[in-house]
């Protein structure tokens, strides 16, 4: 495995990453909605978002497996078609859950994207390929990542050429063992829970492999200062950091 710098990923750490868009902690502007993404673009922030596979094999921007917190109804997102998922209104707003295509059309390369794939094992066959299909002709900087190891194992085969990362947390020896095992899949970057830094995995990834680390989810300038000691960039919500960091 090469330890050479991945210069092509410098865009990933150039500016703070708005967690699920630049929302206001779900008061008036809710997470993973087009208004939250528009606000992030206006602030010159990169955007992190979450996607699921729909019943008909399309990609919807939505965080949770179940619908109650965000859409106020029972059910699972994977049991809906794309049209049904897009019909959901989010929280107290009249904003709808967007498809990944709608989001890409809105962003249009103006800021970088970090797309987290949310797996439901047994219900997500084809998710990686479906996201890669949407990104194939996208004229902008975009990466994919996931907590779900069964999805990461498909990144190189189903999304070749797309920057791909491991989303992770934990400090135990078992956690470290699991994370090191994923290096066999040649992940380009890691997004780590900043509360769990430093740790041997992140130190190895940054210093030996010389690959970028971003963190989640930073909610204050004080937390950012902690994250900055161990990672190159933050994923944030609930406060406004400087939009561009050299």
Looking at residues 102-113, what average pLDDT do you find? 98
State yes or no: is 19 an active-site residue.
Answer: yes
- Count other C-beta atoms under 10 Å from residue 218's C-beta: 28
What is the dihedral sign for C-alpha 79, 84, 86, 91? negative
Q: Give residue-wise pLDDT tens across range 40-68.
A: 999 999 999 999 999 999 999 999 999 99
Please indicate whether residue 185 is annotated as part of the active site.
no
pTM: 0.96
Instruction: Give me the phi and psi of 172, to 5 degrees please.
Output: -75, 165
State the average pLDDT for the chain: 95
Given this model, what pLDDT does residue 3 score?
A: 35
Residue 1 predicted with pLDDT over 90: no
Q: In whole angstroms, give the CA distance from residue 161 to residue 186.
A: 12
Q: If pLDDT is split at 50, 70 and 90, which confidence band does 6 have?
A: low
Higher pLDDT, 214 or 243: 214
CA angle, residues 141, 111, 99, in degrees to nearest 5 = 80
Rank 122-126, 235-239, 242-246 by mean pLDDT and report only the highest. Answer: 235-239
> Which of 144, 64, 68 is closest to 104 using CA atoms?
144
CA 39/CA 55 separation, integer angstroms: 30
Buried b (16+ CB within 10 A) or exposed e, 108-144: eeebbbbbbbbbeeeebeebbebbbbbbeebeebbbb
Q: What's the average model confidence in pLDDT over 113-142?
A: 96
Distance CA 93, CA 109 (A): 26
pLDDT of residue 25: 98
- What is the structure's pLDDT at 244? 60
Identified catalytic residue from 19, 23, 52, 179: 19
Q: Which of 63, 149, 195, 196 is catalytic?
A: 63
pLDDT for 150-160, tens place per residue? 999 999 999 99
CA 86 to chain centre: 20
């Amino acid at each position: 495995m090469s330890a050479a710098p991945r210069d092509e990923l410098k865009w990933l750490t150039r500016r703070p990453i708005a967690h699920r868009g630049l929302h206001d902690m779900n008061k008036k502007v809710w997470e993973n909605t087009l208004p939250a993404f528009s606000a992030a673009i206006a602030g010159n922030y990169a955007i992190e978002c979450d996607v699921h596979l729909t019943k008909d094999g399309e990609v919807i921007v939505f965080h949770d497996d179940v619908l109650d917190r965000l859409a106020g109804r029972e059910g699972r997102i994977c049991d809906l078609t794309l049209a049904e998922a897009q019909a959901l209104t989010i929280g107290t707003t009249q904003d709808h859950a967007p498809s990944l295509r709608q989001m890409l059309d809105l962003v249009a390369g103006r800021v970088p994207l970090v797309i987290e794939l949310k797996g439901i094992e047994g219900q997500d066959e084809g998710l990686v390929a479906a996201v890669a299909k949407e990104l194939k002709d996208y004229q902008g900087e975009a990466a994919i990542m996931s907590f779900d190891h069964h999805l990461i194992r498909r990144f190189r085969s189903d999304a070749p050429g797309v920057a791909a990362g491991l989303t992770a947390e934990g400090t135990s020896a078992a956690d470290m063992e699991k994370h090191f095992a994923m290096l066999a899949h040649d992940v380009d970057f890691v997004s780590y829970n900043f509360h769990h830094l430093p740790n041997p995995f992140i130190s190895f990834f940054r210093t030996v492999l010389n690959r970028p680390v971003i963190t989640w989810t930073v909610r204050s300038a004080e937390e950012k200062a902690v994250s900055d000691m161990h990672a190159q960039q933050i994923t944030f919500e609930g406060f406004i950091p400087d939009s561009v960091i050299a």
